[in-house]
Amino acid sequence: MVSILEVKKGTRVQLANGWYATIEDNKVTGHTRMATVEGYCTEMGSVYATDIRRVMKEDGSFYPVEHTPGQVKVSAHRKVFGF
């Protein structure tokens, strides 16, 4: 497992919906991160930190992400509202 605190600018990640993205900021403790997402089209925008499921390391393999307790708590609050 990789801590979300290690996910820096330029890191390749896989999101909860299966799409891939590149992180564009260094706000490691934030609840949202800026990322260039490659989905139906490629665009930059905010993604919830808890939507980041896997991180690509230097060896090219993906590892699961461990989120901070605060991020998990806020994610549970969003689920109550259907997000």
DSSP state of 6: G
Contacts of 29 (CB under 8 A, 6+ apart): 5, 68, 70
DSSP-derived pairing of the beta strands 52-56 and 32-38: unpaired
Instruction: Enumerate the domain spans of the chain.
Output: 2-80
82 near 76, Cβ under 8 Å? no
pLDDT(83) > 90:
no
Instruction: Give per-residue pLDDT as tens, 29-70.
Output: 999 999 999 999 999 999 999 999 999 999 999 999 999 999
Q: What single-letter amino acid sits at 48? A: Y
- Bridge partners for 22 per DSSP: 12, 36
Q: Give the pLDDT band of residue 9 (cuts 50, 70, 90).
A: very high
pLDDT(82) > 90:
no
Report d(CA 51, CA 23) in Å as an integer.
12
